[in-house]
Amino acid sequence: MRIPLSCRVVGVVVSLLFTYCGRLSAGVIDNHVDQLGADCQLPDALVQEIKGYQPIVNKIVGRIVDGEFAGKTWDSLAELVDTFGARLAGSEQLEKAIDWAVGKLKEDGLENVHTEEAQVPHWVRGYENAQLVAPFKKNLPLLGLGYTVGTPRGGIIADVIAVESFKEFEKLAPEQVKGKIVVFVPKWEGYGKTVVYRSKGASVAARKGAVASLIRSVTPFSIGSPHTGMQSYDDDVKKIPTACITVEDAEMILRKYRKGETLTIHLEMEDRNMEPVMSRNTIGELVGTTYTNTSVVVVSGHLDSWDVGVGAMDDGGGALISWKALTFLKAMGLRPRRTIRAILWTGEEFGLLGGKAYKEAHMENEKKEFNFFFESDIGTFEPKGLDFSGNKEAECIFREVVKLMSPLNATEFQTPTDGGPDVTHWTSRGFPGASLINKNEKYFWFHHSNGDSMAVEDPKNLDKCAALWAAAAYVVADLSVAMPKDVTDPISHLDL
């Protein structure tokens, strides 16, 4: 996952978006006050109707976690990442993975399998090398950030300015910064709060004449691995090369700099931006018995990844449980009243671009078309429950749905939430949605690094996540009532 653009829109006070940013800021997922829902006034018949789904939930969980589907989600995820590796937006590997997914969704019996186009950037990582050349020689493992430009041929050799915060940097005069490599070494204060240094470090540094910007990797724990991720240049600054270095090296540089030492770095980056290319969201359905193609329940994760590691965690797992939830329901002969639609987003890492294109293509009838949005993009470790975004009435219904997840010991309920980065295109405007709460305390250890591999994914936990996904989507899609919503139209300056 990446931080939504909205978290970087300073000064726009939109409580829902800022709630999301704030939650990320404090850690992976904060423990929110769990309002007990005591003020819910659902009709007793509806409460009883939802409770009536318990046997079917039990059956779904039993078959996926302990039955014939056990281990299948991990196997398919391993096949995806072992066959195609990382799936960077704009890469041939991503498009091949999409072709493969289309074939597999069809093989699994999903219906209306197709793709829908979304334009994505084509940024390419080239040779990257950084060396501390004075006061002693040390290789500095690094990863260039999304959209970064490269260095001139032969690289840049420059002295370092190291700061812990933008506030500290503000105090520096442009003549102190000009021609320097600025190293930002923010303390880890949760992803949402810390990631602004990665997102905006280059622009902030360039504004005072820096020639490059290096940032402490955005992670609470490190074993000498750099982490990549998105950044965006402000329109009015010179584009300078920017990369994340390891926590260890960043902290050492800051310590040395503060002692008054002169540090010199040789930075070589051959990263470059090519022409944008067309990619695709991958879609498959379990068509409803009653409300065909209206009031769709979306289950989703993104198929693209960063180009390091293999994107098993971010977001192979989320994509796979979304796809397999439908596969398993279909194989069990369970077809709800509403259509469940699995969407494997493209271009998420470069700005939620698959979701954006999908939103625009479906905007005209969106209120009619969409009932509920599930997204999993914060790990598929052991599931704990679901968090929710939507109006009070929908919340009360969804609270009852989450209670059904007791066989998985996953009845935690949190609200508000944005429902996940890609679906903020809808949930930020009042559509109801939910995302997976899971034991993802180590998520950012691996996030956007070479550590994002199958080693992070546990077959049993993937089964549990898939079971939760299938069961929750099935119940929401089958209820006698549609999920209530108070939808606002897109507003241009908030438009994700």
Residues with active-site annotation: 348
Residue appearing with tokens 């329901």: 329
Both tokens of residue 271? Answer: 């990263």
SS (H, E, C) 260-290: CCCCEEEEEECCEEEEEEEEEEEEEEECCCC
Instruction: Report the residue number, 74 or 147, with the smaller CB distance to a copy of itself.
Output: 74
Q: Are the C-beta atoms of residues 422 and 349 closer than 8 Å to each other?
A: no
Q: Supply the DSSP symbol for 224.
A: S
Both tokens of residue 262? Answer: 């002169």
Q: How far is the CB of 313 from a copy of itself (least distance, A)?
A: 11
The radius of gyration of the chain's CA atoms, rounded to the nearest angstrom, is 23
Q: How far is the CB of 383 from a copy of itself (least distance, A)?
A: 23
| Residues facing 345 on adjacent strands | 302
Q: Are the C-beta atoms of residues 118 and 126 closer than 8 Å to each other?
A: no
Which residues contact a copy of itself (rule: CB under 8 A)?
78, 81-86, 93, 132, 135-139, 141, 221-225, 246-249, 251-252, 255-256, 259, 308-310, 445-446, 449-455
Q: How far is the CB of 154 from a copy of itself (least distance, A)?
A: 16
Side-by-side strand order, sheet with 412-414: 111-124, 272-286, 340-345, 296-302, 370-375, 433-438, 383-389, 412-414
Pairing of strands 264-269, 128-134: antiparallel
Instruction: State the virtual CA torsion across 274, 275, 276, 277 in degrees, nearest 10.
Output: -100
CA 469/CA 386 separation, integer angstroms: 10
Instruction: Report the residue number, 139 or 289, with the smaller CB distance to a copy of itself.
Output: 139
Instruction: Report the residue number, 138 or 367, with the smaller CB distance to a copy of itself.
Output: 138
Q: How far is the CB of 84 from a copy of itself (least distance, A)?
A: 6
3-state secondary structure of 367: helix
Sign of CA dihedral 220, 226, 227, 228: positive
Question: Which amino acid, residue 141?
Answer: P
3-state secondary structure of 375: strand
Instruction: Report the residue number, 398 or 445, with the smaller CB distance to a copy of itself.
Output: 445
Which string of DSSP letters, residue by residue, matches 398-454? Answer: HHHHHHTTGGGT--EEE-S----TTTHHHHTTT--EEEEEE--TTHHHHTTSTT-SG
Q: How far is the CB of 264 from a copy of itself (least distance, A)?
A: 13
Q: How far is the CB of 176 from a copy of itself (least distance, A)?
A: 22
Q: How far is the CB of 151 from a copy of itself (least distance, A)?
A: 17
Residue appearing with tokens 């950030």: 145
Instruction: Report the residue number, 141 or 379, with the smaller CB distance to a copy of itself.
Output: 141
Instruction: Report the residue number, 249 or 285, with the smaller CB distance to a copy of itself.
Output: 249
Both tokens of residue 6? Answer: 């909205």
| Residues facing 435 on adjacent strands | 375, 387
Both tokens of residue 440? Answer: 């993802």
Q: How far is the CB of 132 from a copy of itself (least distance, A)?
A: 8
